[in-house]
Structure 1
């Protein structure tokens, strides 16, 4: 069976495995305070164009999300998110378990807009009983979104401006950041992400690493004592160099971006094949995630050879997610396309 269900089931890029092997018996100080982690931090700071940013390495996306959100919010505050946001639907209530409500905003494509945040805040501020409700304390978005859609630079800039006006830190979930940045429809750079957010993370788990996310804190007000929160949430890896090594390699010779582009190129090939064979797309995605609409019989035929993700039902159709990754081969994509042609 060939897997197109997710983008993190493979291991890691050979460069990372080689480096991990070479440094296996190295003795360094722990908890991310070693020279390798510092080298990785410096490479990331250079890539984002901000030498004053703080960079912290955590193991996974859910851990990164709940650690950042709980660190930013006061006990009575919640986080604004698209209704489809990962923290709202796919993290087993991790944020709520920390005592913070996810304040979901309607979204058709996975994005939220500046005007939505403005309207929500104005309603809250002009509510005479607002102390009886959860106070919005920050805004969470994903880039790309869970539906594979993207924020334009203009949208991101407008959202950041509104967030700044209402003193709401803007947090960008970058679990698939590389795939978003290398999309042919994207007009944001990594420097733009750093410029128009207060905190974000660079996803490694879904983009080439064995595991790991690099949390980047840009807003000075959010930096103090963040390592205390990492430790309290169980995120301070004793053998911290294992994370540093991976990001040190990812940001060497443009590797993070090159492998992300590989995944995008193959995803666009799948998308083109779907359109040519009149297979409807559930969302207009230009990232490594493609969402197709298939009936039950078509799904059954596809699953004879491929493992796919069932996302949701739309009427009598199934939304199926097909993901490419840094490790996806052209040969497997060609096999998938041939199978898709048979479904028509």
Structure 2
């Protein structure tokens, strides 16, 4: 990607959700704190050599530790991005977010903002602004500079000088300046020929119920039923290897078949850091396919989770959701 190919940002909206970047000490440890706009402005004024685009600031409500992020908050964040672009006239949005669920939120926004031609960039920090050896100001100023140099439309993640596709990366470290990495997942997905109107960013979405269940040796139908009977509409099933599971357990397979018959959309992804799902390679995978499990290809957990929320929230019929799961919408399967 050549930044010079894209126009420089002229008007940036900074959306502050909380997270470590702006946290301050409290009686119970670091906690989200208001007033970050003034601190950001003071820092940038102290660095006259930095060339950044014009920016304005909005503090989201409530400010949260990203461990408390929810799909309902994603909807408010989506609305704030659309308002910044279509009402406030911003061509770019910088979202300051805690790192624990940053990859989830960035992946979810990739699907919630399909068709939006603005640039949306997520960043945060591993240490709060102002503490020794903090990465906060370098990430914030670096993200603004990157926007000012020109980025492609769509959602990206910026950290320590690196831009990452949020549907292909994950937080892999709880320390240091490089917590995020692109996962070496195998794609092979076919690009969706057209974006369904219901998925376009201007269309409101309903809240969906989506779960994630990792397989483990000895998992049985009772654990699977516990998740499926909780009211989920979609389930990300983290399988072994290239998409295998306990295929010699008839009760487990029967539980998946019942889920399919009730309209629950089950998507298989791999637990491995590299590779992807190919359900037809092994019998233990093809039996999952036989009871309605869909292939998530090389999708990450974050991408599969965000994609199901978007598809199910658009209230598409089940057959259409199942079709779109296995088609590439924004690079999640490529």
The TM-score by the shorter chain falls in which range? under 0.3
Normalised to the residue count of structure 2, the TM-score between the two structures is 0.27
Normalised to the residue count of structure 1, the TM-score between the two structures is 0.27
- The answer to which structure has the higher helix fraction is 1
- The answer to which structure has the higher strand fraction is 2
Flag the structure with more relative contact order, 1 or 2, with Cα contacts below 8 A and sequence separation at least 6.
1
